[in-house]
Structure 1
Amino acid sequence: MAITPEALKQSRQVIDMYEAYADRYDEIVGNEPIERVKAALKRLAAEVGTGGQVLEIGSGAGREADLLEDLGLHVRRTDATQRFLEIQAARGKKGELLDVVSDPLGGPYDAVVALCVLFYVCREEIAAVLNKIAHSLRAGGAFLVSMRHGDGEKNGDYQTVLWRRDDFAQLLEQAGMAIVWDEFAINSGNGDEWITFLAIKGS
């Protein structure tokens, strides 16, 4: 299915926002993931096993990839924002430019990680993106994803798409992935609601 001009426009707006905000974002997030994200990443690592090949979509400052590598996984770090890749390069970490909406993902991977990134994808495009991710996984490969929870969209300089747990779960299943774990959480700082899923691709 062809990518719509609206999806490309939205993707560009998000990238431009992070190009300007990346340094401040790096300061805010600190040197390691928050505890619930650490726990989810450890759950993924246990599912994949030492030496697994992981594609990370939206690596940002790279702290989640650091943890995955410490847990024995090999991570292909990617982001659509050049400034994030420069921040990682300053720490000796190599990343690649990749836009999950418009670029091929390669593979097959043992796992794909997409934390705090796919809620920027237009509602009309998300099924196609999830199918692309599923196709990049080997049979039995794992997908760890977190989404903003709620209804509708929030519009400003860029759009954030909110998802109800069951609606997004259905999309994962339609893409050929079975959910083995999920979690609902509320951000203590701003009250944002999150859903995180670990799903396994079928044979």
Structure 2
Amino acid sequence: MSTDRDTVHSYDAVAAQYAAEAAAMPEWVATEIDAFVAGLGGSGRVLEIGSGGGRDALELEKRGISIRRTDISKGFVELLRDSGFEADLLDPLTDDLADPQRPGTRYDGIWACACLIHVARDDLGTVLRRLAEATRAGGRLHASVREGDGEDVSTHGGAAAPRRYVETYWREPALRSALTDAGWIVSEIRRCVGKPNDWWLSVRASRA
């Protein structure tokens, strides 16, 4: 699997709580949504990896984008379905990425915000290549990962709902190389700050 099982189970256990905590749109993500939608010309069919509580999908739909919501966490998928949205359980490393609503047609874009941090370093190239293969030529990609070195295991929550997340950190040169090797043309990698001392590398790219 592309994602550590304990990480997935942590999200399953706290899906509703996590969605509430992440409901506010960070300024840097709003900026990336603007750029992504502009790159698509204000329309298109997009595969979202790691939909979580659905915050970004709602904003993208407001802008005229058709979204296929997916997540590797069953907890998030059930939360989205309970909220009235179609959502699919999907591991981008191993599962078929084809759009069930448009058989034989590739996506116009991929939205993968703050979720590929949980993909093991050795697997990211494969995930990026599979996403590229599912995207039409010229289609757009937004992806964001934490900036840094190595890997980390972060733990939060309480005894009733402990959380354990395995995260992989990236530097721009290695990330840019992985994207290019996977079939993406990188237009920009921006350094964005979430919380203080929480730096992200935010990718704007198109399918070669």
TM-score normalised by structure 1 residue count: 0.89
Change beyond 3 A, Cα 1:17–1:87: same
Whether 2:6 is the aligned partner of 1:13: answer yes
Gaps of 5+ in 1: 1-7
> Is residue 2:130 matched to residue 1:138?
no
Structure 1 residue 129: Cα displacement = 0.9
Match of 1:182 among 182, 189, 193: 189
Does residue 33 of the first structure (1) align with residue 33 of the second (2)?
no
Superposed, which structure 2 residues align to 1:36-185 within 5 Å?
36-107=28-99, 108-155=106-153, 157-185=164-192
Output the CA distance in 2 between the equivalents of 1:35 and 1:197. Answer: 16
Deviation at 1:183, TM superposition (A): 1.2
How far apart are 1:9 and its partner, in Å? 8.1
Q: CA deviation at 1:102?
A: 1.8
- How big is the shift at 1:105? 1.1
User: CA separation in 1, counterparts of 2:47 and 2:2?
Assistant: 24
Q: Which runs of 5+ in 2 are unaligned?
A: 100-105, 155-163
Moved over 4 A (4+): none
Aligned match of 2:200 in 174, 194, 201? 194
Name the structure 2 match of 1:5: none
Q: Secondary structure at the match of 1:89?
A: helix
CA shift at 1:124, angstroms?
1.0
SS of the aligned residue for 1:111 comes to strand
Count residues with an aligned counterpart.
Answer: 193
CA apart distance, 1:10: 4.3
Shift of 1:101: 2.0
Q: C-alpha offsets along residues 128-184 of structure 1, whole Å, 9 cap, x if unaligned?
A: 111101101100001100001100111354421100011101111111211122210
Q: CA RMSD in A?
A: 1.6
Please report how far the alpha carbon of residue 187 of structure 1 lies from its aligned counterpart in structure 2 after TM superposition.
2.3
State the AA in 2 paired with 1:200: S
Q: Quick one: distance in 2 between partners of 1:137 and 1:98?
A: 16
